[in-house]
Structure 1
Amino acid sequence: MNSRVDQLKAFDRLLTIMDELREQCPWDKKQTMETLRHLTIEETYELGDAILDNDLDEIKKELGDVLLHIVFYSKIGSETNDFDIADVCNTICDKLINRHPHIYGDVTVENEEDVKRNWENLKLKEGKASVLEGVPKSLPALVKANRIQDKVAGVGFDWEEPNQVWEKVEEELKELQEEIKIGDSNAIENEFGDVMFSMVNYARFLKINPENALERTNKKFSKRFQYLESRAKALNKNLKDMTLQEMDVFWEEAKQLPK
């Protein structure tokens, strides 16, 4: 691997290129934080895909794209004398030191859960009105549910055992079934949301990331369905004209494919 000197040299090279692009490239010169925002979100999702695929070469490339955006925002900030890349780095360094008193202070911790509780308590001491302030409003609902539960657990608002959480899941499922019998669509939606929220909570107790789990299933389903499509096409058949029983034959074949 590269030495620290080489790492710093590479980072300096990136900063220099960013300066040159901002001065000379018509597209780069026009960008603002607002125009970059949606691109940054897209790059983050692409990094997430590469991580789920365990494609290390692609992860390296996508990390570069995300890093470019961080440097880009910092360059824009420096042009208005609000902040530059050094301020960005020092801000996160200061935060990490302050939030890890068990490393840089005299606090003792026993495990990961102690660290998380200390982290959230320190945020409140820093002036946060709520532990939920750090959950972005624009997060997808599934991710947001996981982060909300993780945040409140950090201050002790949590179940004690996984079986308690599963009992809550079963309770919410029964309530959903009752509302389905009644037929009130608003009530059904509310109860369905409660089921999903409780399932996200259960995933956390199983130490499973629910977003990753669902995305893996999305990929698995897509792969199998595309196999079904290819088999049908090879036989000059249209899926719309096939029965479920016919499609199920190909679906079962798809389930035997290597994962």
Structure 2
Amino acid sequence: MHVGMISEITRHPVKSMRGQRVNETKVMNYGLYGDRSHALLDENESFLTITQFPDMVTYTAVFSGPDSLESFPEPIVTTMSGGTSNWSDEEWLEEIEERSGKKLKRISYHPEHVPVGAIEEANLLLVTDASLNALAEAWGREVDDRRFRPNLQIALTNQEAFVEQEWIGKTLQIGENVKVDVTGPCERCMIITVDPESGSRQPDLLKRVVKHHRNQFGIYLRVVETGIIKVGDDIHLIDC
């Protein structure tokens, strides 16, 4: 059954920074190519995330070149002030250390394998346009989908909000080759309260999701078959 098409693809080269929207990429066994492939660790070897440092969402990371399975292109980091630096530069890291009050170090992985931990609970996170629109209407203001940090946003064939919850336990085919199992809903936390443009907080959004949607928004996907996906690819709900 045809359920929709991909309208946006977003990977996050640096964990908890704003991501990079792409028109086409490879789905690896861990998720989108390069997703959460680079990260910052604090003195306790814990990942620095928006939870500990909300302003991290005002930094953007994009790969500097085309996808390669030999090594990742070096990420380019854009700071909240608009300055750009290479991942290997010291200036942006020193800025985050000063603002977060933490001593940090960089970590990165190989294109063939990004481990659990850098990737959170599942390989991919999907949201739908109808659910975003319904939440925005109920909240009374526009909802930036980047608050939810999805890898895939899909435009539904039938604009039924939250229908994706009915896909849990089933399989989706994306484009010609990629298959994913829908493993469960995404439980939300304070991260969705942080405005991805300004870093300001709107806690009432999380309160609404908790009260009206059992603190769930979006669905997790586990990769079954890898391949190339692109914006505009059809998505089918299939029986396996």
TM-score category of the 2 structures, normalised to the smaller one: under 0.3
Q: Which one has the largest radius of gyration?
A: 1
Q: Which has the higher strand share?
A: 2
Question: Bigger relative contact order, structure 1 or 2, given CA contacts below 8 A and separation 6+?
Answer: 2
Which structure shows the higher helix fraction? 1
